[in-house]
Structure 1
Amino acid sequence: MIQLKNLSLRRGLKELIVSANLVLNPGYKVGVVGANGAGKSSLFALLMGRLSADAGDVLLPPNWTIAHVAQETPALDRSALDYVLDGDAELRHLETQLRQAEAANDGAAIGLVHGELARIDAYSAPARAATLLTGLGFSPDSHQRPVRAFSGGWRMRLNLAQALMCRSDLLLLDEPTNHLDLETVLWLEDWLKAYAGTLLIISHDRDFLDSITSHIVEVAQQSLTLYTGNYSQFEVQRAERLARQQGDYEKQQRQIAHLESFITRFKAKATKAKQAQSRVKALERLERIAPAHVNSPFDFQFSAPDSLPNPLLRLEGVAIGYAEHPILEDISLSVEAGSRIGLLGVNGAGKSTLVKLLAAELAPLRGDLVASPMLRIGYFAQHTLETLRPADSPLLHLQRLAPDTREQTLRTFLGGFNFRGDAATDPVGPMSGGEKARLALALIVWQRPNLLLLDEPTNHLDLEMRHALTLALQDFPGALVVVSHDRALLEATTDSFWLVSGGRVTPFDGDLESYRTWRLERLAEASRPSSEDSSGLSRKEQKRQEAEARQRLSQQRKPLQARLSRLEKELESLSEEKAGLDSYLASEAAYQEKDRTLLAEKVRRQGEVARRLEEVEEAWLEVHEALEALDTQAG
Structure 2
Amino acid sequence: MSEQLDQKKIQQLIQSHVPGVDEIIVEYVQGYLNDAAATILSTGKADETEDPIEDLIRPMLEDAGGGAGKIDALCIKLSGLLSEVEHKADAQKRPSLEKLAAPVNMIAQRAQINKATRAHAGGTDLAHTKGRSVASQVDIKKLRKAEARIAAKMEKRGIKSRYEASKLINENPLDDDDLLMKVNPILDYTSTRDKIKDIKVEGFDISYAGKRILTNSNIHLVYGRRYGLIGRNGIGKSTLLRNIAYRELAVPTYISILFVEQEMVGDDTTAIRSVLKADLFREQMLRDEASIIEELKKLDEPSPLDERGEVMSKHEIEAKKNEMGDRLNSIMSKLQDIESDKAESKAGEILSGLGFSASDFQRPTKSFSGGWRMRLSLARALFCRPDLLLLDEPTNMLDIPAVVWLERYLRTWKSTLLVVSHDREFLDEVATDIIHQHSEQLDQYRGNFKAFWATREERRKNQMREYESQMQYRAHLQDFIDRWRYNANRAAQAQMKIKILEKLPELEKPEDDKVVTFSFPDPDSISPPVLYMDDVTFGYSAERKILEKVNIDMQMDARVAIVGPNGAGKTTLLKLLIGTLNPTSGIVHRHGRLRIAYFSQHHVDQLDVGLTAVGQLRKVFPGNTDEEYRRHLGAFGITGMTALQEIKTLSGGQKSRVTFAGLAVQQPHFLVLDEPTNHLDMESIDALTNALKAFKGGVVLVSHDERFIDTVCTEMWVCADGKVSKFSGDGIKDYKKMICPPEDQ
TM-score clears 0.5: yes
Instruction: Please name the residue that 1:442 is paired with.
Output: 661
Residues 206 and 240 in structure 2, CA contact (< 8 A), matched pair in contact too = no
Deviation at 1:435, TM superposition (A): 1.3
Q: Secondary structure at the match of 1:32?
A: strand
110 and 9 in structure 1: CA distance in 2 versus 1, 3 angstrom threshold: same
CA contact (8 A) 2:278 2:381 kept: yes
1:134 to 352, 376, 383: 352
Inter-CA distance 280–381: structure 2 relative to 1 (3 Å threshold): farther
Other-structure match for 2:444: 226
| Structure 2 counterparts to residues 552-571 of structure 1, below 5 A | none
Question: 255-264 or 475-484, which moves further after superposition?
Answer: 255-264
Any idea what SS the aligned residue of 1:134 has? helix
Structure 2 match to 1:43? 240
Query: Residues 92-241 of structure 1: matches in 2 within 5 Å?
Result: 92-105=283-296, 106-107=324-325, 109-241=327-459
What is the deviation of 1:329?
A: 0.8
Length, aligned pairs only: 517
Question: Which aligned pairs between 1:191-590 and structure 2 lie closer than 5 A?
Answer: 191-257=409-475, 283-323=501-541, 325-398=544-617, 410-510=629-729, 511-520=731-740
1:243 match: secondary structure: helix
Per-residue displacement from partner, 1:122-157 (whole Å, max 9, x unpaired)?
222112212222222223223222223333332222
- Gapped regions of structure 1 (runs ≥ 5): 53-57, 524-635
CA distance in 2: counterparts of 1:242 and 1:99, whole angstroms? 61
Q: Which moved more, 1:345-354 or 1:506-515?
A: 506-515
Q: Is structure 2 residue 299 aligned with structure 1 residue 81? A: no
2:212 is the alignment partner of 1:18: no
Q: Secondary structure at the match of 2:672?
A: strand
The answer as to whether partners of 2:205 and 2:217 remain within 8 angstroms in 1 is: no
Q: Work out the CA distance in 1 between the residues paired with 2:620 and 2:379.
A: 43
Distance (whole Å) between structure 2 residues aligned to residue 181 and residue 218 of structure 1:
26
The residue type equivalent to 1:514 in the other structure is D
**Structure 1 residue identity aligned to 2:654:** E
Q: In the aligned structure 2, how far is the partner of 1:362 from the partner of 1:72?
A: 27
User: How far apart are residue 162 of structure 1 and its match?
Assistant: 0.5
In structure 2, distance between residues paired with 1:345 and 1:296? 35
Report the alpha carbon displacement of residue 315 of structure 1 after superposing the two structures with TM: 0.8
Contact residue 199 and residue 223 of structure 2 kept, 8 A: no
Query: What SS class does the counterpart of residue 382 from structure 1 fall into?
Result: coil
Distance 1:214 1:156 in 2: 25
Structure 1 residues 258 and 143: alpha-carbon distance in aligned structure 2, compared to 1, 3 A threshold: same
Structure 1 partner of 2:165: none
1:310-342 deviation digits (Å, cap 9, x = unpaired): 342111111123256431010112113312111
Shift of 1:230: 0.8
What's the % identity of the aligned pairs? 36
Q: Give CA deviations for 1:280-300 in whole Å, capped at 9, x if unaligned.
A: 665554433222224235212
Give the TM-score taking structure 1 as reference length.
0.74
What is the letter of the counterpart of residue 416 of structure 2? Answer: T
SS at match of 1:448: coil
Aligned-pair CA distance for 1:434: 1.7
Q: Which residue of 2 aligns with 1:91?
A: 282
Question: What amino acid is aligned across from residue 738 of structure 2 in structure 1?
Answer: W
Q: Give the letter for the 1:199 counterpart.
A: L
After superposition, the Cα gap between the structure-2 partners of 1:443 and 1:258, relative to the gap in structure 1 and judged at 3 Å, is farther
Distance in structure 2 (CA, Å) of the matches to 1:114 and 1:429: 49
User: 1:203-227 CA deviation, whole Å, 9 max, x = no partner?
Assistant: 1111111111111111222322221
Aligned partners of 1:322 and 1:515: how far apart in 2?
29
Instruction: Calculate the aligned-residue CA RMSD, in Å.
Output: 3.1
Give the match's secondary structure for 1:362: coil
Q: Distance in 2 between matches of 1:273 and 1:447?
A: 71
Paired amino acid for 1:152: G
The answer (yes or no) to whether the contact 1:6–1:18 under 8 Å persists in 2 is: no
Structure-2 change in CA distance of 1:237 and 1:464 (3 Å)? same
- For 1:4, which of 165, 180, 200 is the aligned residue? 200
SS in 2 for 1:156: helix
Of structures 1 and 2, the larger Rg is shown by: 2
Distance 2:528 2:425 in 1: 34
Instruction: Give the direction of change, closer, same or farther, for the CA distance of 1:263–1:429 in structure 2 (3 Å limit).
Output: same
1:403 offset after TM fit, Å? Answer: 7.0
Q: Secondary structure at the match of 1:227?
A: strand
Instruction: Using the TM superposition, give the Cα deviation of residue 302 of structure 1 relative to its aligned residue in structure 2, in angstroms.
Output: 2.7
Query: How far is 1:86 from its partner?
Result: 1.7
3-state SS in 1 of match to 2:587: strand
Give 1:509 shift.
Answer: 1.3
Structure 1 residue 472 displacement after superposition: 1.6
Deviations 1:201-252 (A, max 9, x none): 1111111111111111112223222211111211111111112222223333
User: Residues 500 and 130 of structure 1: is their aligned pair in 2 closer, same or farther, counting only changes over 3 Å?
Assistant: same
- Read off the aligned partner of 1:10 and give its amino acid letter: I
CA contact (8 A) 2:538 2:583 kept: yes
> Does the 8 Å contact 1:242/1:294 carry over to 2?
no
Matches of 2:217 and 2:658, distance apart in 1: 34
Closer/same/farther in 2, CA of residues 115 and 407 from structure 1, 3 Å limit: closer
Distance 2:526 2:514 in 1: 31
* Native 8 Å contact 1:340 1:479 kept in 2: yes
Amino acid at match of 1:358: L
Structure 1 position 45, deviation (Å): 3.4
Task: State whether residues 308 and 478 of structure 1, in contact with CA within 8 Å, keep that contact through their aligned partners in structure 2.
Answer: no
- Mapped contact 2:563–2:717 kept (Cα < 8 A): yes
Correspondence for 1:622:
none
AA paired with 2:449?
Y
Measured in 2, the distance between the counterparts of 1:262 and 1:415 equals: 47
Task: Output the amino acid matched with 2:458.
Answer: E
Question: What CA distance in whole angstroms lies between the structure 1 residues aligned with 2:384 and 2:455?
Answer: 34
Q: Distance in 2 between matches of 1:410 and 1:265?
A: 56
Distance in 1 (CA, whole Å) between partners of 2:728 and 2:446 is 37
- The Cα shift of 1:473 comes to 1.8
Q: Give secondary structure in 1 for the equivalent of 2:649.
A: coil
Cα distance in 1, alignment partners of residues 634 and 268 from structure 2: 48
Partner secondary structure for residue 202 of structure 2? strand
Change over 3 Å in CA distance of 1:224–1:99 after alignment to 2: same
Q: What SS does the corresponding residue of 2:268 show, helix, strand or coil?
A: coil
Structure 1 SS opposite 2:647:
coil
Q: What SS does the aligned partner of 1:184 have?
A: helix
Matches of residues 59-74 of structure 1 in structure 2 within 5 Å? Answer: 63-69=254-260, 71=262, 73-74=264-265
Secondary structure at the aligned position of 1:302 is classed as coil
Q: Is this contact kept in 2: 1:65–1:167, CA < 8 A?
A: no
SS in 2 for 1:471: helix
